[in-house]
Structure 1
């Protein structure tokens, strides 16, 4: 557990390695990034965390350390999240457009620093909303987009998830859970509090995160990248969630807004995911036009975080994606 005042990231014992934990100016404010890789000449993998607010920097190496062998992995605490949730942060600066431009600025920084023409972009959950719109706006910056638990259409997702949850509560729920479900009522959940209740119920029946919050907290508290103050910032950012973006994200619809993608795209989804239901991801996968190639991976037994639920397979598939791009294999 971190009890000191200073954060760092551990060294990597390889001659051309990189292990940096730094703040850079993005979008007019200091934002923190962690850069790790065994060979700094490897392609960059910029990871967009979920939430908004659920920064992933403290738990990355517990599940996905193997990616550092093949990539320069960049974890970024986005504005208002984790180490980038500064005192006095203006949550009114949170908008889809601002996050897209932040991603673009960070991408430009990484391309220049590592002298690479293009990088890989990976997004999880909220990060898939941000990621897919970023590659749509700036396709020339990216070797491809790796989508993990793609948000497709939040309102349709709620309808699919509600039907599943109804069966779970009927078959396995306690009397208390049944009452809570009846009080919740059917979607749509335009009020944030009702949505949070719905999300927690899905998690209770295995349709959300693959690893419990207790275990994640234990892993996180052992990370040297965060100080005690950073954990306070993380909690504030996670509790804020989408903040003023709530309605903007509710209106998200890939079928309407992203009929085509100009970069190679790989969709990874857990079969038991009822935050971003696999059924809906599969439907969008069939719908979207992707001239540069598209692939769908459905992880059996995993839910909303397959990189935690089945990290060995996840790391293997992401490394294969890199190899397919650089070896000229079919994507």
Structure 2
């Protein structure tokens, strides 16, 4: 863990040094494939926090080990590299049907296994971006398996999100210029990235991107194999899942049998947080909505100290 330690010692937020992760890598066979995951030592009854990464294919174990190790104080904190990406990479055969249902089934099987091994431990799911799709669907269909769900950069209605992202492009650029550019979506991505840089600051945003890249490269677990699995795995995951992901819509689901919470960056230009705020206001079941005023799409890494504090507060009743 020497490389992880050297990175962590350099991380500071509001004058606080970020702690060093004590998690290690494990793997298990689920639904015919090997899934790699990180997990820290903890008492058998410690509350479990399962992190579902974004993407699809956005494996991020090195990032949570660097920025979110403080969660290990109270949780058995687990981050899974999902099927076909990161350290769980394998090339998807053309005949294999890679669907949201399959990815969800992997997570359900994994959580069932956790419940068998740690029967007294309450389990919280935390899903980021794409992972929030799996997490909210899990909460809707399998509430008996978890204590609560926390969504970060939550997906509510992908169609509405796309329209909101395209709106500035349609307002600013005339049709002839949009057509000459070739892709309204790509133009929107560029414009939104500029707006994000303006909101958060160019230097800060660039340093965050550099730090995250260095974190992957310096991870003692990822090395070449993990980096290859991250890059190729993300490409194949997007190719197989994006079309189905674009159809996701939770807007007609107004209650859940477990508490849900949504943690949103004020400057998130990928998934407009105002849509999530409106969705939360319509829920009839227990819920919370929390703004992160100095974050974009990734408050868990942009405001890690506050992020950990908020998650601990949401789960405080699980602590002995």
TM-score bracket, normalised by the shorter chain, equals: 0.7 to 0.9
Hey, what does 2:6 align to over in structure 1? none
Normalising by structure 2, report the TM-score. 0.82
Match of 1:236 in 2: 232
Confirm or deny that 1:202 pairs with 2:192: yes
Separation in 2, partners of 1:122, 1:181: 43
Report the equivalent of 1:9: none
Partner of 2:274: 279
Separation of aligned partners in 1, 2:59 and 2:53: 6
Task: Measure how far apart 1:198 and its partner are.
Answer: 3.4
Whether contact under 8 Å (2:125, 2:148) holds in the other structure is yes
Which of 262, 268, 275 matches 1:267? 262
Deviations 1:29-48 (A, max 9, x none): 11111111454531110000
Is 1:75 the counterpart of 2:65 in the alignment? no
SS at match of 1:52: coil
Secondary structure of the corresponding residue to residue 56 of structure 2: coil
Alignment TM-score, normalising by the size of structure 1: 0.80
The match for 2:245 is: 249
1:181 and 1:235 map into 2 onto residues whose CA distance is 34
Listed one character per residue, the Cα deviations across residues 84-141 of structure 1 (whole Å, up to 9, x for unaligned) are 1124555843211111111110001112222336411000000011100011111001
Which of residues 273, 291, 296 in structure 2 aligns to 1:303?
Answer: 296
Q: Deviation digits for residues 166-205 of structure 1, max 9, x if unmatched?
A: 78xx6xxxxxxx799943699xxxx9x7645533542343
Match of 2:308 in 1: 315
Q: Is residue 184–residue 198 contact of structure 1 (8 Å, CA) maintained in 2?
A: no
Contact 1:48 1:75 in 2 (8 A): yes
Partner Cα distance (2:159, 2:317) in 1: 35
Residue 99 (structure 1) aligns with: 103
Gaps of 5+ in 1: 4-16, 171-177
CA shift, 1:280, in A, is 0.1
Q: CA RMSD in A?
A: 3.2
Q: Map 1:46-57 to 2 at 5 A.
A: 46-57=50-61
Structure 1 contact 39–69 (Cα < 8 Å) conserved: no
**Number of residue pairs matched?**
297
